[in-house]
Structure 1
Amino acid sequence: MAVGEGGRRVLLLLLLFTSNCILHWMPVAVNGNTDPNDAAAIRILFQSMNSPSQLGWQANGDDPCGQYWKGITCSNNRVTEIKLSNLKLTGTLPYGLQPLTSLTNLDLSSNNLGGGIPYQLPPNMQRLNLAYNNFTGSIPYSISDMTSLTDLNLAHNQFQQGLNVNFMKLSTLSSLDLSFNLLTSDLPQTLSSLSGITSMYLQNNQFTGTIDVLANLPLENLNVENNNFTGWIPEQLKSINLKTGGNTWSSGPAPPPPPGTPPLPKSNRHHKAGGGSTTTSPSDAGSSNNMSEGSKKSGVGGGGIAGIVISIIVVGAIVAFFLVKRKSKKSSSDLEKQDNQSFAPLPSDEFHELKSVPPSSITEMKTFETSASINLKPPPMDRHKSFDEDELSKKPAIVKKTVTSPANVKSYSIADLQISTGSFSIDHLVGEGSFGRVYRAQFDDGKVLAVKKIDSSVLPNDLSEEFTEIVSNISHLHHPNVTELVGYCSEYGQHLLVYEFHRNGSLHDFLHLSDEYSKPLIWNSRVKIALGTARALEYLHEVCSPSVVHKNIKSANILLDAELNPHLSDSGLASYIPNADQVLNQNAGSGYDAPEVALCGQYTMKSDVYCFGVVMLELLSGRKPFDSSRPRAEQSLVRWAAPQLHDIDALTKMVDPALKGLYPVKSLSRFADVIALCVQLEPEFRPPMSEVVQALVRLVQRANMSRRTTFGSDHGGSNRGSDEPAIHDV
């Protein structure tokens, strides 16, 4: 059939419109316009992984969506998936991936990637799989804000420290795998917020504490094998696929829940085939279906019905209470006396049963009782008799947490310490720190010890039990380079710690206080002090369980004995004193503060590493961490020195003039390399203390320092005679 001129025009317009639409709908395939931010992020990732040839990516390419790039999936012009599993990739995971806001799946598992995980990851990921690599450091806190996560797999790496993630926002997370790492400390309480979690794998780590926080999660699979968990396995978890071997669980029946605790909910756990099943009593069997159907229609579940029943009971109790009160002929003064008596003494059998409840349960019980608006307990048996001391002793309030005195340290009296310190006279004062003053104590038997008198502003007078617990914790710290706790005193509201005494004072005094009778520290001694202090921190961070963050590393807290061996003081004190962080933050501006501490006041093992780097800078330069007497550009030691640490000419000018050039240049350079690692601005790039120790040991070994030259009798005030030749060998 012939088509007229008008028909041909219509067909032509349709063809043009269709082709234009196709070109408009398919910009990726035709024009290859990948989002520039996404393209830049992919290039950064490519370079960070050492530009692997096996991927076939274009080194200078800018169109991973328009062209075929292995492992890259796009939607429109945005990268949505990166799957590069088992490709023998090396390198690190870089900063700069945050612009990938459409990325939902990142799988780099089963490769040879290492280093730390950057803080800024793509924010909208649903699945993150970095398993079977060599990642180190801590798990970044920024994972807390990845609210779309459903699967997180960081297994089979070398992650360390505690699990510093806030799980409050991760309600969609269904699978969490942290197995086969080096994670420590107790499980965070925010894990209890994972309302969608079904599988959790924590095996083969170094976690401590209990797993009570997992009790009410809707888990179907849980593996906590080969950790340092203690306590009881919650009953709620025994009906799921559970693996618990290789821990130190408590034997015997678990303690009862505190009075007033409602029964455990049975509707919050998913039961699949093979899992545990709920049971119903015969009286409930016939009506269970109807009740379930009715609950669905009305919107009232089992919890709502229970609430109605409890409300009826409470209303009935209130009515009964007021009826009894109305019938009572007691005078108003007697009633007032009765109100002041709080609760009636428990019968003897109830009292003995209550004593078996653990302290935490007692605390919860007391909170429950005191928060009740109506006292439903019976009145005392004898209404006309007020409580005496015997009756007060029967009250539940006295059944509280008690801390036994540490058995491995001595308890001193105030009188003993007053005599030995001349009533804490100024003549016996040897130092003053963030938590109190330190006095030299001379005892009748000739023993000399150091007494630290903790300020009442740091630890109030009424916290005697807390102080005893602090003493107990510190008394378990034993290392040749950690100042040993010998005893304590807790009398008349005073809190004192008694330590071993080191006659050569602090490293700060050696470096910064001139003394015409003593010689400066020689290079060998400085290396020795750095290595010993590093070993002390390695012990606190990586040997102690749970790990101990010192929080107050500075040259004034490094004490030197007669052989100039370093001993780190105040270890554990800031970790166990309540509100210690606030006390330390008041002393900001000393030059030791890591950037993240100055920013948000949070102390971690990485901030300890930074402070240790500052101490090493003091050893190298002889300068104070912050010196307002110097020119403005040189007042902050780290800011002034850090840019020069890799410049050998600038480095030699930076060295402490007191050394008078008596140091080996190679040893100095390696020493500076360790400092540069420790004082990096980003905490995740700072090495763990075990690596710092290894680096300092290699420094000594490469220099072939003999034991005599490394740990010789260079006592600061001694002549250098025999040591000077060895200096040039270090």
Structure 2
Amino acid sequence: MKMDAFGNIYGLVILSISCIYPNFLLVCHAASALRVMFNSMNSPGQLTQWSGNGDDPCGQNWKGITCSGSRVTEIKLPGLGLSGSLGYQLNSLTAVTNLDLSNNNLADAIPYQLPPNLQRLNLANNQLIGEIPYSISQMPSLTYLNLGHNQLQKQLGDLFGQLTSLSTLDLSFNQLSGDLPESFSSLSSMKSMYLQNNQFTGAIDVLANLPLDTLNVANNRFTGWIPSQFKKINLQKDGNNWNSGTAPPPPPGTPPAHNGPSYKSGGNDSPSGSGAGGGSKKSGISAGGIAGIIISILLVGGIVAFFLVKKKSRRSSDIEKLGSQPSAPYSSTNVVPDMKSMQASSAVNTKIFDTSASINLRPPPVDRHKSFDDEEFSPKPVVKKPVAAPINVTLYSVADLQMATGSFSVDHLLGEGLFGRVYRAEIDDGKVVAVKKLDSATLPSDMSDDFTEIVASISLLHHPNVTELVGYCSEHGQHLLVYEFHKNGSLHDFLHLSDEYSKRLIWNSRVKIALGTARSLEYLHEVCSPSIVHKNIKSVNILLDTELNPHLSDSGLASCLPNADQVLNHNAGSGYGAPEVAMSGHYTLKSDVYSFGVVMLELLTGRKPFDSSRPRSEQSLVRWATPQLHDIDALSKMVDPELKGLYPVKSLSRFADVIALCVQPEPEFRPPMSEVVQALVRLVQRANMSKRTIGNDQSETPRAVNPDTQDYIS
């Protein structure tokens, strides 16, 4: 320990001596700051060049360092499992414009001393605590700031007044609180802002006049009205306490707002600040002016009241006419008769339903409170064409499925996913199926036509590794999907819920499961037209039959459900989500590839994607495992202990290579699924060839090879 300290001091002394010479001055400052950073990050072994005696990060090609001449311009070290803190000398790196330390395990507070001329700062997906430092307010060149998925706290200070070049801001998934700062209104270049999953309060009026394309404020404690300026942008707002109804107009005499509408419920917020007397000539409105305004209001009110009475009398006569017609269209006036007739015709006894998973036979009450979504900013209702019934699938009634599931009892419950609960059901011919009851939050009860279209789309998916849809139910506002049943349950159960009586997965079975799942995604991405993004790849949704062949469930479902993305984003901390999804909330073919890579990591290590019971540096599977995938010694220590060392070393290494490609932070570098399939096929072919020619790998005994020897390449 003393020798290490002496070595560090010696290196700094030599470095200081070299700084005497002008040619080394810039290099000296950079090397000194980076050496302090290296020590603060607990001297990570991944940065081998940093730990040597070299003193020139540009001339000696230090990992993650980009230079222009002898000046360091970029520090990019994402996804390396780095720990510790950032150090305290980064402000001397005046030429650095890009600092990316995302997807690591860095802790402590963000230092005040940051490179002052940054254009991009990305510290997302770490374990940073404390407040956002004030030094960020002194970075006028900053265009991109991402501090999402950390543990930052407290209220935002007025840091943003000079950040007029900032176009992307991500503060999502922290513990920030309080009202939004007024300086947000100065972000004149802001295009994308992500504030979701914090504890922000108050109104969002301060954002109203920003040139936003995307705004995510979901899952906070915001109140007030949503500004009308947001009607044309990509807005995610659920999970707050918005006021319903139309926002009130400004009080009489209030001048037009400059920074956006900041309407209050009261009328005492006039900028003139006149006293109670109101008789002074300096007051904003004279007594005569007030009298004129009152008369005008009374006159307009009388006219409006006249037309409202007239309209009401006309509506009552229209209702009488509708009552005499043989079939009236659905409206709020005939909800009660429809409900009564529906309940009278239903033979289902609702009292015997399980209370935790009961099907409500009553339609939801009509919401008469209008917000901006319901009225002028939503598209006008259109007359839909009749939806054709799906072919090749069976239409069931609620009564049929109730009987088959024991009234949707807990005894028949197989599991609960993001879109609803799944029950085991035995239908009339003795066939066992799985019934998924969609939650109303995922698909509201009044969208039966949309549900029929969804069923029609999913029923067209046919692939050996895709769970088949065999039926559906759309009755009484309820939406249920009936799938084929797979006896061996999910891959998640095999890997994480195993006990002494369960059969463990040998290496060949794991490779087979990975290959079959890859083929299902290749089918969705590259065979289906248009391509289908699954959005919810995880081990729970990979079902295994009696031969341990994988079947991907929920295929096509998330792409069709109108509220699927919002539901999925609430589960963003599961460990399967790609970094760009956490930032934008948007899913792509490449985000599916990333999630598949995480599943492969599960198969390799036997670990969960995120496990809070492990040490902090090992909780995120991707962050912990990625730096070790190309180190054969580290790789052998990562392997699932359940394999008991029975696997081919070369096969393991190639498997890890595929994982590394899939979980790359940049989506454009991830391979298409067809290439993943080809890589896994080559892996299996080589393994089979070696068994036929030169025998087993030394690390694999015949006992590990012989089971599961059927050909799973074709």
TM-score normalised over the length of structure 1: 0.46
Higher Cα Rg, which structure: 1
